[in-house]
Amino acid sequence: MATANKVLVIGGGVGGLAVAIGLHQQGIDVEVVERDKDWKVYHVGIIVQANFVRALNVLGVGNAAVKAGYAYRGARFCDVAGNVLKELPGDTAVDGLPSDLGLTRPALHKVLTEKVLELGIPVRLGVTFEAIEDRGDGVDVAFTDGTRGSYDLVIGADGNYSAVRKTLWPDARPQYTGQGVWRYNVPRPAEVDWSDLYIGKPKGKAGYCPLTPETMYIFAVFEEPDNPRFAPETLAEEMRKRLEGYGGVLGEAAKHVTDPELVVYRPLEACIMPSPWYKGRVVLIGDAAHSATPHLGQGAAMAIEDAVVLSEELASREVGDALDAFMERRFERARLVGISSIRLGEWEMKPEIAGDPIALTDAIRQKLAEPV
Protein backbone atom coordinates (compact mmCIF):
# COMPACT_ATOMS: atom_id res chain seq x y z
CA MET A 1 0.00 0.00 0.00
CA ALA A 2 1.20 3.51 -0.77
CA THR A 3 1.07 6.44 1.66
CA ALA A 4 -2.22 8.25 2.21
CA ASN A 5 -2.64 11.44 0.22
CA LYS A 6 -6.39 11.86 0.48
CA VAL A 7 -8.44 10.91 3.54
CA LEU A 8 -12.14 11.06 4.36
CA VAL A 9 -13.25 11.54 7.97
CA ILE A 10 -16.83 10.48 8.76
CA GLY A 11 -18.00 12.38 11.85
CA GLY A 12 -17.18 15.96 12.84
CA GLY A 13 -17.04 15.49 16.62
CA VAL A 14 -14.07 15.51 18.98
CA GLY A 15 -11.99 12.78 17.31
CA GLY A 16 -13.01 13.61 13.74
CA LEU A 17 -12.10 17.28 14.00
CA ALA A 18 -8.87 16.47 15.85
CA VAL A 19 -7.74 13.97 13.20
CA ALA A 20 -8.65 16.40 10.41
CA ILE A 21 -6.40 19.02 12.04
CA GLY A 22 -3.63 16.46 12.60
CA LEU A 23 -3.69 15.18 9.00
CA HIS A 24 -3.77 18.70 7.59
CA GLN A 25 -0.70 19.53 9.70
CA GLN A 26 1.05 16.56 8.14
CA GLY A 27 0.29 17.81 4.64
CA ILE A 28 -2.38 15.18 3.90
CA ASP A 29 -5.55 16.22 2.04
CA VAL A 30 -8.51 15.63 4.32
CA GLU A 31 -12.23 16.25 4.17
CA VAL A 32 -14.98 15.72 6.75
CA VAL A 33 -18.64 14.75 6.48
CA GLU A 34 -20.88 15.36 9.50
CA ARG A 35 -24.40 13.99 9.66
CA ASP A 36 -25.86 16.79 11.79
CA LYS A 37 -26.63 19.76 9.55
CA ASP A 38 -26.56 22.09 12.59
CA TRP A 39 -23.27 20.63 13.98
CA LYS A 40 -24.73 20.83 17.50
CA VAL A 41 -23.33 19.30 20.69
CA TYR A 42 -24.84 18.66 24.14
CA HIS A 43 -24.67 21.59 26.52
CA VAL A 44 -22.81 19.70 29.23
CA GLY A 45 -19.46 19.95 30.90
CA ILE A 46 -16.58 17.62 30.31
CA ILE A 47 -13.72 16.76 32.62
CA VAL A 48 -10.28 16.34 31.10
CA GLN A 49 -6.74 15.79 32.31
CA ALA A 50 -3.10 16.40 31.39
CA ASN A 51 -3.05 13.96 28.47
CA PHE A 52 -5.94 15.85 26.82
CA VAL A 53 -4.07 19.16 27.09
CA ARG A 54 -0.88 17.54 25.77
CA ALA A 55 -2.64 16.02 22.74
CA LEU A 56 -4.47 19.26 21.90
CA ASN A 57 -1.20 21.14 22.24
CA VAL A 58 0.32 18.94 19.51
CA LEU A 59 -2.60 20.04 17.32
CA GLY A 60 -1.90 23.70 18.06
CA VAL A 61 -5.01 24.33 20.16
CA GLY A 62 -3.83 23.53 23.70
CA ASN A 63 -3.79 27.18 24.71
CA ALA A 64 -7.19 27.85 23.17
CA ALA A 65 -8.72 24.90 25.04
CA VAL A 66 -7.21 26.05 28.34
CA LYS A 67 -8.57 29.56 27.78
CA ALA A 68 -12.01 28.16 26.95
CA GLY A 69 -12.14 26.12 30.14
CA TYR A 70 -11.34 26.37 33.80
CA ALA A 71 -8.11 24.91 35.17
CA TYR A 72 -8.49 23.36 38.62
CA ARG A 73 -6.15 21.59 40.99
CA GLY A 74 -6.97 17.94 40.42
CA ALA A 75 -9.40 15.26 41.59
CA ARG A 76 -10.38 14.59 45.18
CA PHE A 77 -12.29 11.71 46.71
CA CYS A 78 -14.67 12.66 49.51
CA ASP A 79 -17.05 10.73 51.74
CA VAL A 80 -20.82 11.19 51.58
CA ALA A 81 -20.62 14.12 54.03
CA GLY A 82 -17.99 15.89 51.90
CA ASN A 83 -14.91 15.16 54.03
CA VAL A 84 -11.84 14.82 51.82
CA LEU A 85 -10.42 11.27 51.79
CA LYS A 86 -7.67 11.67 49.21
CA GLU A 87 -6.26 14.32 46.88
CA LEU A 88 -4.97 13.39 43.42
CA PRO A 89 -3.32 16.66 42.34
CA GLY A 90 -2.95 17.29 38.62
CA ASP A 91 0.54 16.99 37.17
CA THR A 92 1.07 19.08 34.05
CA ALA A 93 2.30 17.43 30.85
CA VAL A 94 3.07 20.66 28.99
CA ASP A 95 5.23 23.44 30.44
CA GLY A 96 3.13 26.51 31.04
CA LEU A 97 -0.22 24.75 30.65
CA PRO A 98 -2.34 23.23 33.43
CA SER A 99 -3.36 19.57 33.68
CA ASP A 100 -6.91 19.12 34.94
CA LEU A 101 -9.48 21.19 33.14
CA GLY A 102 -13.25 21.52 33.07
CA LEU A 103 -14.87 22.94 29.98
CA THR A 104 -18.24 22.88 28.33
CA ARG A 105 -18.69 20.57 25.38
CA PRO A 106 -19.77 23.58 23.22
CA ALA A 107 -16.54 25.38 24.23
CA LEU A 108 -14.42 22.43 23.09
CA HIS A 109 -16.46 22.20 19.88
CA LYS A 110 -15.81 25.89 19.20
CA VAL A 111 -12.05 25.49 19.69
CA LEU A 112 -11.90 22.55 17.26
CA THR A 113 -14.32 23.89 14.64
CA GLU A 114 -12.59 27.29 14.55
CA LYS A 115 -9.24 25.60 13.91
CA VAL A 116 -10.69 23.35 11.19
CA LEU A 117 -12.32 26.32 9.45
CA GLU A 118 -9.19 28.47 9.84
CA LEU A 119 -7.15 25.73 8.11
CA GLY A 120 -9.67 25.59 5.27
CA ILE A 121 -10.46 21.91 5.76
CA PRO A 122 -13.63 21.08 3.79
CA VAL A 123 -16.53 20.04 6.06
CA ARG A 124 -19.89 19.01 4.60
CA LEU A 125 -22.73 19.26 7.09
CA GLY A 126 -25.92 17.22 6.90
CA VAL A 127 -24.10 14.60 4.83
CA THR A 128 -23.03 11.04 5.55
CA PHE A 129 -21.99 7.97 3.60
CA GLU A 130 -24.44 5.70 1.83
CA ALA A 131 -21.97 3.01 0.76
CA ILE A 132 -18.30 2.28 1.28
CA GLU A 133 -16.47 0.06 -1.19
CA ASP A 134 -12.89 -0.91 -0.38
CA ARG A 135 -11.09 -1.63 -3.68
CA GLY A 136 -7.86 -2.69 -1.97
CA ASP A 137 -5.79 0.19 -3.30
CA GLY A 138 -8.38 2.81 -2.32
CA VAL A 139 -11.91 3.30 -1.04
CA ASP A 140 -14.90 4.52 -3.06
CA VAL A 141 -17.60 6.27 -1.07
CA ALA A 142 -21.14 7.21 -2.11
CA PHE A 143 -22.64 10.06 -0.08
CA THR A 144 -26.21 10.89 0.87
CA ASP A 145 -26.06 14.15 -1.14
CA GLY A 146 -25.64 12.10 -4.33
CA THR A 147 -21.91 12.74 -4.73
CA ARG A 148 -19.11 10.13 -4.78
CA GLY A 149 -15.44 10.26 -3.83
CA SER A 150 -12.30 8.08 -3.84
CA TYR A 151 -9.90 8.08 -0.92
CA ASP A 152 -6.72 6.37 0.24
CA LEU A 153 -8.22 5.91 3.69
CA VAL A 154 -11.60 6.38 5.41
CA ILE A 155 -11.67 7.20 9.13
CA GLY A 156 -14.86 6.36 11.04
CA ALA A 157 -15.04 8.98 13.80
CA ASP A 158 -18.81 8.79 14.12
CA GLY A 159 -19.10 8.15 17.83
CA ASN A 160 -20.59 5.53 20.11
CA TYR A 161 -23.36 4.54 17.69
CA SER A 162 -21.02 4.48 14.70
CA ALA A 163 -22.60 3.62 11.36
CA VAL A 164 -19.13 2.89 9.98
CA ARG A 165 -18.59 0.27 12.71
CA LYS A 166 -22.02 -1.18 12.06
CA THR A 167 -21.23 -1.49 8.35
CA LEU A 168 -17.93 -3.29 8.86
CA TRP A 169 -18.54 -5.07 12.17
CA PRO A 170 -22.32 -5.60 12.27
CA ASP A 171 -22.19 -7.65 15.47
CA ALA A 172 -20.38 -5.04 17.57
CA ARG A 173 -22.74 -2.72 19.40
CA PRO A 174 -22.70 -0.73 22.67
CA GLN A 175 -23.97 -2.60 25.73
CA TYR A 176 -25.79 -1.01 28.65
CA THR A 177 -23.51 -1.20 31.69
CA GLY A 178 -26.29 -0.95 34.31
CA GLN A 179 -25.75 2.69 35.28
CA GLY A 180 -26.92 6.08 34.04
CA VAL A 181 -25.32 9.51 34.42
CA TRP A 182 -27.13 12.69 35.42
CA ARG A 183 -25.61 16.10 34.72
CA TYR A 184 -26.60 19.68 35.58
CA ASN A 185 -24.78 23.01 35.45
CA VAL A 186 -24.92 25.16 38.61
CA PRO A 187 -23.14 28.28 39.97
CA ARG A 188 -19.56 27.61 41.18
CA PRO A 189 -18.99 28.47 44.84
CA ALA A 190 -15.74 30.48 45.08
CA GLU A 191 -14.01 27.76 47.13
CA VAL A 192 -14.49 25.01 44.50
CA ASP A 193 -11.06 24.54 42.92
CA TRP A 194 -11.00 20.73 42.65
CA SER A 195 -13.19 18.19 40.97
CA ASP A 196 -14.66 16.31 43.94
CA LEU A 197 -16.06 12.77 43.80
CA TYR A 198 -18.24 11.74 46.72
CA ILE A 199 -18.08 7.98 47.22
CA GLY A 200 -19.66 5.63 49.73
CA LYS A 201 -23.34 5.85 48.81
CA PRO A 202 -24.61 2.46 47.56
CA LYS A 203 -24.86 1.85 43.78
CA GLY A 204 -23.09 4.94 42.57
CA LYS A 205 -21.33 8.20 43.19
CA ALA A 206 -21.73 11.91 42.58
CA GLY A 207 -19.59 15.01 42.39
CA TYR A 208 -18.86 18.26 40.63
CA CYS A 209 -16.29 19.90 38.42
CA PRO A 210 -15.60 23.61 37.78
CA LEU A 211 -16.33 24.71 34.20
CA THR A 212 -15.83 28.48 34.21
CA PRO A 213 -15.15 31.03 36.98
CA GLU A 214 -18.93 31.31 37.39
CA THR A 215 -20.15 27.76 36.81
CA MET A 216 -19.53 24.13 37.68
CA TYR A 217 -21.44 21.01 36.83
CA ILE A 218 -22.83 18.32 39.07
CA PHE A 219 -22.78 14.70 37.95
CA ALA A 220 -24.36 11.66 39.52
CA VAL A 221 -23.69 8.12 38.27
CA PHE A 222 -26.06 5.51 39.66
CA GLU A 223 -27.35 2.03 38.98
CA GLU A 224 -30.57 2.26 36.95
CA PRO A 225 -32.06 -1.23 36.85
CA ASP A 226 -33.61 -2.28 33.50
CA ASN A 227 -32.38 0.85 31.72
CA PRO A 228 -35.51 2.93 32.42
CA ARG A 229 -36.81 5.77 30.24
CA PHE A 230 -37.72 8.81 32.35
CA ALA A 231 -40.52 11.23 31.48
CA PRO A 232 -38.77 14.54 30.61
CA GLU A 233 -40.75 16.55 33.18
CA THR A 234 -39.50 14.29 36.02
CA LEU A 235 -35.78 14.62 35.31
CA ALA A 236 -34.96 17.30 37.92
CA GLU A 237 -36.87 15.45 40.63
CA GLU A 238 -35.23 12.14 39.69
CA MET A 239 -31.76 13.71 39.73
CA ARG A 240 -32.39 15.33 43.14
CA LYS A 241 -33.41 11.90 44.50
CA ARG A 242 -30.02 10.52 43.52
CA LEU A 243 -28.34 13.45 45.28
CA GLU A 244 -30.25 12.95 48.53
CA GLY A 245 -28.09 12.36 51.60
CA TYR A 246 -24.99 14.16 50.38
CA GLY A 247 -23.50 16.88 52.56
CA GLY A 248 -20.81 19.48 51.95
CA VAL A 249 -20.69 21.54 48.76
CA LEU A 250 -22.54 18.85 46.82
CA GLY A 251 -25.49 18.85 49.20
CA GLU A 252 -25.85 22.63 48.80
CA ALA A 253 -25.33 22.54 45.02
CA ALA A 254 -28.01 19.88 44.61
CA LYS A 255 -30.62 22.49 45.62
CA HIS A 256 -30.04 24.21 42.24
CA VAL A 257 -31.27 21.16 40.31
CA THR A 258 -34.76 22.46 39.59
CA ASP A 259 -35.33 22.74 35.83
CA PRO A 260 -36.04 19.37 34.17
CA GLU A 261 -35.13 20.81 30.76
CA LEU A 262 -31.58 21.49 31.92
CA VAL A 263 -30.93 17.94 33.16
CA VAL A 264 -28.88 15.78 30.79
CA TYR A 265 -29.49 12.09 31.51
CA ARG A 266 -27.71 9.33 29.61
CA PRO A 267 -27.74 5.58 30.16
CA LEU A 268 -24.14 4.33 30.04
CA GLU A 269 -23.41 2.18 27.00
CA ALA A 270 -19.92 0.97 26.21
CA CYS A 271 -18.33 -0.81 23.26
CA ILE A 272 -14.65 -1.71 23.36
CA MET A 273 -13.60 -3.21 20.05
CA PRO A 274 -10.91 -5.88 19.90
CA SER A 275 -7.77 -5.16 17.87
CA PRO A 276 -7.49 -4.22 15.05
CA TRP A 277 -9.88 -1.29 14.67
CA TYR A 278 -9.40 -1.34 10.91
CA LYS A 279 -10.44 -3.48 7.97
CA GLY A 280 -8.52 -2.85 4.78
CA ARG A 281 -8.52 0.91 4.33
CA VAL A 282 -11.27 1.83 6.81
CA VAL A 283 -10.29 2.56 10.43
CA LEU A 284 -12.26 3.55 13.53
CA ILE A 285 -11.13 6.10 16.11
CA GLY A 286 -12.60 7.56 19.30
CA ASP A 287 -15.87 6.26 20.71
CA ALA A 288 -16.50 4.26 17.51
CA ALA A 289 -13.52 2.09 18.47
CA HIS A 290 -13.61 2.23 22.27
CA SER A 291 -16.50 3.94 24.00
CA ALA A 292 -16.28 3.64 27.77
CA THR A 293 -18.21 4.92 30.77
CA PRO A 294 -17.33 8.39 32.13
CA HIS A 295 -15.76 7.10 35.37
CA LEU A 296 -12.26 8.22 34.41
CA GLY A 297 -13.26 11.30 32.34
CA GLN A 298 -11.13 10.11 29.43
CA GLY A 299 -13.43 9.79 26.40
CA ALA A 300 -12.41 13.05 24.76
CA ALA A 301 -8.72 12.62 25.54
CA MET A 302 -8.68 9.10 24.11
CA ALA A 303 -10.31 10.33 20.87
CA ILE A 304 -7.79 13.16 20.55
CA GLU A 305 -4.82 10.90 21.33
CA ASP A 306 -6.07 8.52 18.60
CA ALA A 307 -6.15 11.46 16.21
CA VAL A 308 -2.63 12.62 17.02
CA VAL A 309 -1.12 9.13 16.75
CA LEU A 310 -2.94 8.21 13.52
CA SER A 311 -1.87 11.48 11.88
CA GLU A 312 1.75 10.95 12.91
CA GLU A 313 1.85 7.38 11.63
CA LEU A 314 0.13 8.18 8.32
CA ALA A 315 2.65 10.95 7.67
CA SER A 316 5.64 8.62 7.80
CA ARG A 317 4.50 5.17 6.58
CA GLU A 318 2.44 3.49 3.91
CA VAL A 319 -1.19 2.97 4.91
CA GLY A 320 -1.05 -0.68 6.09
CA ASP A 321 2.07 -0.15 8.20
CA ALA A 322 0.66 3.09 9.58
CA LEU A 323 -2.52 1.35 10.72
CA ASP A 324 -0.50 -1.41 12.42
CA ALA A 325 1.72 1.16 14.13
CA PHE A 326 -1.41 3.06 15.19
CA MET A 327 -2.87 -0.07 16.80
CA GLU A 328 0.46 -0.83 18.47
CA ARG A 329 0.49 2.58 20.15
CA ARG A 330 -3.23 2.89 20.90
CA PHE A 331 -4.88 -0.43 21.63
CA GLU A 332 -3.63 -1.31 25.13
CA ARG A 333 -3.90 2.26 26.38
CA ALA A 334 -7.48 2.80 25.21
CA ARG A 335 -8.49 -0.69 26.33
CA LEU A 336 -7.03 -0.06 29.81
CA VAL A 337 -9.09 3.12 30.14
CA GLY A 338 -12.21 1.34 28.87
CA ILE A 339 -12.08 -1.74 31.07
CA SER A 340 -11.01 0.26 34.13
CA SER A 341 -13.90 2.71 33.68
CA ILE A 342 -16.38 -0.14 33.37
CA ARG A 343 -14.82 -1.91 36.39
CA LEU A 344 -15.26 1.21 38.55
CA GLY A 345 -18.97 1.18 37.71
CA GLU A 346 -19.24 -2.54 38.48
CA TRP A 347 -17.59 -1.97 41.86
CA GLU A 348 -20.16 0.74 42.61
CA MET A 349 -23.03 -1.60 41.77
CA LYS A 350 -21.57 -4.71 43.46
CA PRO A 351 -19.75 -3.82 46.69
CA GLU A 352 -19.09 -7.53 47.31
CA ILE A 353 -16.55 -7.56 44.44
CA ALA A 354 -15.29 -4.00 44.91
CA GLY A 355 -11.61 -3.14 44.96
CA ASP A 356 -10.12 0.24 45.81
CA PRO A 357 -11.51 2.91 43.42
CA ILE A 358 -9.11 5.58 44.66
CA ALA A 359 -6.05 3.41 44.02
CA LEU A 360 -7.31 2.37 40.56
CA THR A 361 -8.09 5.97 39.55
CA ASP A 362 -4.67 7.12 40.81
CA ALA A 363 -2.88 4.34 38.91
CA ILE A 364 -4.66 5.16 35.64
CA ARG A 365 -3.99 8.89 36.02
CA GLN A 366 -0.29 8.13 36.45
CA LYS A 367 -0.26 5.74 33.50
CA LEU A 368 -1.92 8.31 31.24
CA ALA A 369 0.60 10.97 32.25
CA GLU A 370 3.18 8.88 30.34
CA PRO A 371 3.61 9.92 26.69
CA VAL A 372 1.60 7.93 24.12
Ligand X SMILES: Cc1cc2nc3c(=O)[nH]c(=O)nc-3n(C[C@H](O)[C@H](O)[C@H](O)COP(=O)(O)OP(=O)(O)OC[C@H]3O[C@@H](n4cnc5c(N)ncnc54)[C@H](O)[C@@H]3O)c2cc1C
Q: How far is the CB of 84 from ligand X (least distance, A)?
A: 21
In the complex, minimum distance from the CB of residue 330 to ligand X, in angstroms, rounded to a whole number? 13
CB of 318 to ligand X, least distance (A): 25
Q: Residue 356 in contact with residue 77, Cβ under 8 Å? A: no
Whose Cβ is closer to ligand X: residue 321's or residue 362's? 362
Q: 301 vs 314, which CB is nearer to ligand X?
A: 301
Question: Residue 14 Cβ, how far from ligand X at the closest point, in Å?
Answer: 4
Which residue from 163, 166, 121 is spatially nearest to 7, judged by alpha carbons?
121
Instruction: Give the residue at shortest CB distance from ligand X.
Output: 13
Between the CA of residue 345 and those of 11, 113, 228, 261, 326, what are the distances in Å? 28, 33, 17, 26, 29
Report CA-CA distances (Å) from 216 to 82, 257, 336. Answer: 17, 12, 28
- Rounded Cα distance, 16 and 5, in Å: 17
The secondary structure of 286-314 as a DSSP string is: THHHHE--GGGS-HHHHHHHHHHHHHHHH
Q: Check if the beta carbon of residue 283 is closer than 8 Å to that of residue 310.
A: yes
- Could you tell me the smallest distance in angstroms from the CB atom of residue 2 to ligand X? 26
Nearer to ligand X, 68 or 300 (CB): 300
Cβ atoms within 10 A of the Cβ of 252, count? 13
Shortest approach of ligand X to residue 251 CB, angstroms?
A: 22
CA angle 226, 232, 235 (to 5 degrees): 75
Nearer to ligand X, 3 or 25 (CB): 25
Beta strands 129-134 and 139-143, pairing class: antiparallel
Rg (CA), the chain: 20
315 CB-contact burial (10 Å; exposed 0-12 / middle 13-18 / buried 19+): middle
Q: Which one, 90 or 159, has the nearer CB to ligand X?
A: 159
CB of 353 to ligand X, least distance (A): 26
> How near is the Cβ of 48 to ligand X at its closest, in Å?
5
Q: Please, which residue, 232 or 320, has the CB nearer to ligand X? A: 232
Q: CB-wise, 81 or 125, nearer to ligand X? A: 125
Residue whose CB is less far from ligand X, 33 or 273: 33
Give the residue from 337, 335, 310, 336 showing the smallest Cα distance to 324.
Answer: 310
**Residues 282, 297: Cα–Cα separation, whole Å:** 27
CA distance 31 to 124: 8
- What span, in angstroms and rounded, lies between the C-alpha atoms of 248 and 255? 12
CB of 71 to ligand X, least distance (A): 15
- 33 or 53: whose CB is closer to ligand X? 33
Binding residues (CB under 6 A) for ligand X: these are: 10-16, 33-36, 42, 44, 46-48, 128, 157-159, 163, 183, 264, 266, 286-288, 294, 297-301, 303
